[in-house]
Amino acid sequence: MAPPTALIAEDEPLLAHALQTELAKAWPELRVLPLAANGTAALEQALAQRPSVCFLDIRMPGLSGLEVAQALAEDWPEDANDLPLIVFVTAYDQYAVQAFETAAVDYLLKPVAPARLAQCCARLRETLARRSQAGAAVHTDPLLAQLRGLLLQHADIPSSPHRPAPLQVLQAAVGHHIHLVPVAEVLYFEAADKYVRVVTAERDYLIRTALRELLPQLDAEQFWQVHRGTVVRASAIHSIQRHETGKLSLVLKDGAGTLAVSRLYATRFKAM
């Protein structure tokens, strides 16, 4: 059996090498892959090399550790082994640490303490051993559920004591004009580089904002995230199409197109 492998994603070289050194002591048989200095590199390396474990810094240039984990869950090849186990490395305060504990995804608090790392490694080895004995990808669903819980709790960490009312109107610049777009007319939002594409039945608009910044301003009962880059208005969905591979697609009303559902969000529709 090949030895387990690990990817460390950390933008601070000293912390990355310190973690690598401590891992060699706590888990000698673990083979550490070349270090990733940012979130984008971490995602590319993980998809290419398929490590057993990923140690992801929460705050990195490009993609955050949470965004890397989310992208891995969505882009991991269907014919590959189980998703890698995820360990978040964080300097968050105790409130955020409690959210990680509740979501049952392991974490390491900076600076990493050797005793805590040893405890984490023991848990990882036990989980990998259970996977090996099972002989099948039976642990993917629990990992996805844990990640969904963590993403939800992370989004709910309040930056202010009062949550604003849901957004009602968007301002979209078109040439020298600013169009006021009622949110109730939006079919779906789609991330497009540094912009968000706003799709209505009449036309498309581009607004210069990140989807992750827009999402908390939307009514969660009316707008559902179905992919890390797509949020759809629930009432715009006509039907759900299930493919032979098990993947889901949403068919929109009035021939407005179809949207892919990532496996991270597929449980919303499988339960229906």
Question: Tens digit of pLDDT for each residue in 24-40?
Answer: 999 999 999 999 999 99
**Strand locations in 58-203 (E):** 85-90, 106-109, 169-174, 177-182, 186-192, 195-200
Tell me what pLDDT residue 12 has: 94
Cα(192)–Cα(208) distance, integer angstroms: 10
Tell me what pLDDT residue 231 has: 97
Length of the chain: 272
Q: Is 162 helix (H, G, I), strand (E, B) or coil?
A: coil
Tell me what pLDDT residue 183 has: 97
Cα(85)–Cα(42) distance, integer angstroms: 14
- The CATH H-level (homologous superfamily) assignment of domain 5-156 is Response regulator (3.40.50.2300)
Cα(84)–Cα(51) distance, integer angstroms: 6
Tell me what pLDDT residue 135 has: 55
- The CATH code belonging to domain 169-270 is 2.40.50.1020
- The domains of the chain are located at 5-156, 169-270
Tell me what pLDDT residue 158 has: 46
* 186-192 and 195-200 strand pairing: antiparallel
Q: How far is CA 161 from the centre of its chain?
A: 26
Strand order, beta sheet including 258-261: 237-242, 248-252, 258-261
Q: Do domains 5-156 and 169-270 have the same CATH topology?
A: no
Segments of the chain with pLDDT less than 50: 136-138, 156-160
Note the pTM of the prediction, 2 decimals.
0.78
